[in-house]
């Protein structure tokens, strides 16, 4: 008998969103394009010392996210948290900066024997902007890519062995299941009135009561996953037929080249990045 293989389909995990509203363009790009294009800029931002360079990347990344992803509560919360984080981290680094290094700059604040100089403020907020810019660049892929889609693209484009890629995918899918099982265990304990009360000792008692049933459920789930993989002859052959394809298209190349070129232009315009 001749085995009949169904043709592989192009995988689109966000197709369901298109039924209600148009899908933003970042969801349509290959995960490797969204992950690899910002990577050179993220590495170079580690070495910059000025505030202009990370500020440009931060604003560009936020604009790209506003245009490229759906504006959900999570996205809005992250974007609103960025300026708050910059203010907190910048203030902290400004206070921690050695005053002897910047005592030739104007005084911003003086409390008794402690003095805050303008140079310390500049160093603190330049560092905060650099960290925020790196974080914003990671959000381009993080907010528009699913874990399974990323694993499939690494297996198909980067030629990562499928034994490693799909094992990681199976492990990745353990996380939401553990969350569901923990919620069920909590409800069961609450119904039985186990480990009630308040305070740190009651909290320790409650969490210790979650460990054994959660571990037992994890073992049972791991056994079922292992049996399912064995039943599908996982690892028996060097290659496997892909059910879902995550192709690299022309738009992925255009996005990657345009992003790298724009990053190079920003670094060239702001050179020497305050190092001298």
Q: Supply 201's token pair.
A: 């000792």
60-64, 135-139, 199-203: which range is least confident on average? Answer: 199-203
Evaluate if residue 2 carries a pLDDT over 50: no
Give pLDDT, residue 10: 54
Q: Is residue 21 part of a domain?
A: yes
User: What is the model's pTM?
Assistant: 0.78
My answer on whether 69 and 172 are in the same domain is no
My answer on whether 25 and 91 are in the same domain is yes
Give pLDDT, residue 201: 67
Give pLDDT, residue 270: 86
Q: Is residue 184 part of a domain?
A: yes
Q: In angstroms, rounded to a whole number, what is the distance separating the alpha carbons of residues 206 and 189?
A: 9
Decide which of 35 and 19 is more confident.
35
Q: In angstroms, rounded to a whole number, what is the distance separating the alpha carbons of residues 263 and 57?
A: 8
Decide which of 107 and 194 is more confident.
107
Q: In angstroms, rounded to a whole number, what is the distance separating the alpha carbons of residues 252 and 32?
A: 9
My answer on whether 217 and 172 are in the same domain is yes
Q: Is residue 195 part of a domain?
A: yes
My answer on whether 55 and 152 are in the same domain is yes
Evaluate if residue 254 carries a pLDDT over 80: yes
Q: Is residue 236 part of a domain?
A: no
143-147, 172-176, 271-275: which range is least confident on average? Answer: 271-275
Average pLDDT taken over every residue of the chain: 82
How does pLDDT run across 127-162, given as a tens digit for each residue?
A: 999 999 999 999 999 999 888 888 888 888 888 888
Report the pLDDT averaged over residues 244-249.
88
My answer on whether 138 and 13 are in the same domain is yes
Q: Is residue 237 part of a domain?
A: no
Q: How confident is the model at residue 274 (pLDDT cuts 50, 70, 90)?
A: low
Evaluate if residue 105 carries a pLDDT over 70: yes
My answer on whether 45 and 103 are in the same domain is yes
Give pLDDT, residue 196: 61
How does pLDDT run across 211-235, given as a tens digit for each residue?
A: 888 888 888 888 888 888 878 777 7
My answer on whether 95 and 125 are in the same domain is yes
Q: Which residues have a Cβ under 8 Å from the Cβ of 153 and sit 6 or more positions away?
A: 30, 31, 32, 246, 248
Q: Is 10 helix (H, G, I), strand (E, B) or coil?
A: strand
Give pLDDT, residue 27: 92
Compute how many other C-beta atoms are within 10 angstroms of the C-beta atom of residue 123: 23
Q: How confident is the model at residue 276 (pLDDT cuts 50, 70, 90)?
A: very low
My answer on whether 47 and 67 are in the same domain is yes
Q: Domain limits at 193?
A: 162-231
Q: Is residue 172 part of a domain?
A: yes
Give pLDDT, residue 5: 46
Please give the tally of structural domains in the chain: 2
Give pLDDT, residue 194: 64
Report the pLDDT averaged over residues 156-185.
82
Evaluate if residue 103 carries a pLDDT over 90: no
My answer on whether 107 and 153 are in the same domain is yes
My answer on whether 58 and 152 are in the same domain is yes
Evaluate if residue 20 carries a pLDDT over 70: no
Percent of the chain with pLDDT over 70: 86
My answer on whether 90 and 61 are in the same domain is yes
Q: Is residue 132 part of a domain?
A: yes
Report the pLDDT averaged over residues 73-88.
92
Q: Is residue 257 part of a domain?
A: yes
My answer on whether 22 and 143 are in the same domain is yes
Evaluate if residue 239 carries a pLDDT over 80: no
Alpha-carbon separation of residue 231 from 7, 24, 62, 125, 227 (angstroms): 21, 39, 46, 56, 6
């Amino acid at each position: 008998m001749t085995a009949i293989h169904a043709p592989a389909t192009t995988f689109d995990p966000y197709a369901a969103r298109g039924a209600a509203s148009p899908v933003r363009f970042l969801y349509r790009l290959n995960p490797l394009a969204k992950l690899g294009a910002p990577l050179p800029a993220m590495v170079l931002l580690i070495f910059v010392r000025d505030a202009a360079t990370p500020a440009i990347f931060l604003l560009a990344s936020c604009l790209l996210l506003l245009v490229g992803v759906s504006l959900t509560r999570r996205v809005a919360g992250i974007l609103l948290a960025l300026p708050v984080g910059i203010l907190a981290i910048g203030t902290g680094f400004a206070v921690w900066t050695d005053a002897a290094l910047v005592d030739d700059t104007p005084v911003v604040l003086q409390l008794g024997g402690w003095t805050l100089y303008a140079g310390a403020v500049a160093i603190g907020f330049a560092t905060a902007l650099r960290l925020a810019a790196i974080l914003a660049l990671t959000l381009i892929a993080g907010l528009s890519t699913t874990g399974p889609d990323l694993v499939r693209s690494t297996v198909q484009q980067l030629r990562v062995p499928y034994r490693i890629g799909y094992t990681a995918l199976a492990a990745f899918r353990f996380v939401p299941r553990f969350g569901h099982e923990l919620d069920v265990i909590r409800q069961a304990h609450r119904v039985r009135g186990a480990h009630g009360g308040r305070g740190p000792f009651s909290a320790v008692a409650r969490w210790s009561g979650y460990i054994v049933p959660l571990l037992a459920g994890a073992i049972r789930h791991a056994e079922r996953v292992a049996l399912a993989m064995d039943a599908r002859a996982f690892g028996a052959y060097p290659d496997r037929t892909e059910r879902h394809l995550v192709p690299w298209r022309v738009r992925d190349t255009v996005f990657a080249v345009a992003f790298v070129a724009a990053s190079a232009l920003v670094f060239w315009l702001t050179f020497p990045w305050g190092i001298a």
